[in-house]
Amino acid sequence: MKNIYGLTYVQLESYLLELGEKKSKAPFIYQGLYKQQIDSLLDIPAIRQSLLKQLEEDFSMTLPRLVEQTEGDDTTKFLFSLEDGSLIEAVLMRQKYGNSLCISSQVGCNMACAFCQSGRFKKVRNLLPEELTGQIIYIQKQLHLTISNIVLMGIGEPFDNYDNVMQFLEIISHPHGLALGPRHVTVSTCGLVPQIEQYASHPAHGLLAISLHAPDDETRSRLMPVNRRYPVAQLMDAARSCILKAGKKIMLEYVMLQEINDHPWQAQLLADLIGCDAFHVNLIPYNETQNLGFTQSSRERILEFYDVLKKNHITVTMRREFGSSVNAACGQLRADYEKQQKQ
């Protein structure tokens, strides 16, 4: 049975036409699912019962099952189990401008970034559109709040699950649904160049963040194996092409790792690499995890790096440190939970 949370608006219209129904019923169904957040398909208003019963026969409304929830001052982390028992994570971040939710896109990840906890879990499978959407719906329902920003920066590489992620974006951006506009959705990639180029032309695309983490090939290849396939120069060319097509700035994510990528000369190299105002650099304090051997850069070192970029007229921000009290590094809650189960 197909999960209705994986259905795009166009697919829903096609389904109705196949039943001999009018497409005009689609707005009521989508609004029931995403705006009124009904618990049963039989509760959709303004639709006759015979059609509602047919919907109930044809579709499920299954959401991820909560396994564990941890609370911090400004974050809540969720460990979910999917129907096949796979574990994924999502992190809710409460900010002045609204509630941001960081969601997972895969079970595990094959990118093997050296500093990333989730990279220790090899990819099992891609998440389906309904499993992406389900993370949002579950949290909105259970916490009685509205998610205003979505970030695909949890477990997995979104562009390694390109088709399902694009379908998910189409679902959550529809005005009869969650109505999350492009400026409220950010997709983060470690640098899959063909998908970056494809994404720039997609009508449902949101903002793009590229996990750069080093301005030179030697350091970046040590941290991120993907760089051996798509080196820094090729990645930046694709990013600039995306900027030209989409007309939006691209965020360059830069995790600050003590004595690895936080030297002033690397800040200058990064400034030279950017060379224009079409990128926004986001310096991220490293969320330390067990057994990975990396240390968060000192605040003094981060400020020094920041100052070099500012002097070169680079748009740069320093991200607030979220979630250290709730094991919010990607994959950390899952790793702790699985360790406990084995004891």
Contact 177, 219 (CB under 8 A): no
The confidence score (pLDDT) of residue 323 equals 47
User: How far, rounded to the nearest angstrom, does the alpha carbon of residue 110 sit from its chain's CA centroid?
Assistant: 16
What mean pLDDT do residues 241-249 have? 88
Contact 318, 283 (CB under 8 A): yes
pLDDT tens profile 169-214: 999 999 999 999 999 999 999 999 999 999 988 866 789 999 999 9
Contact 282, 323 (CB under 8 A): no
Catalytic hit among 102, 109, 116, 330: 330
Place of tokens 């949290």: 139
Domain with CATH 3.20.20.70 in the chain: 65-342
Q: Which CATH superfamily hosts domain 65-342?
A: Aldolase class I (3.20.20.70)
pLDDT tens profile 20-77: 999 999 999 999 999 999 999 999 999 999 999 999 999 999 999 999 999 988 899 9
- Nearest C-alpha neighbor of 92 from the set 105, 73, 77, 72: 77
pLDDT at 102 over 50: yes
Place of tokens 């084995």: 342
Catalytic hit among 89, 131, 157, 253: 89
Active site includes 330? yes
The confidence score (pLDDT) of residue 343 equals 47
| 40 Cβ contact partners less than 8 Å away, ≥ 6 residues apart | 56, 61
Classify strands 75-81 and 87-95 as parallel, antiparallel or unpaired: antiparallel
The confidence score (pLDDT) of residue 321 equals 59
Q: Alpha helix (H) ranges present in the chain?
A: 9-18, 26-34, 49-58, 129-143, 162-173, 193-199, 217-223, 232-246, 264-274, 299-311, 332-342
pLDDT at 318 over 80: yes
CATH 3.30.1130.10 fits 2-60, yes or no: no
Active site includes 18? no
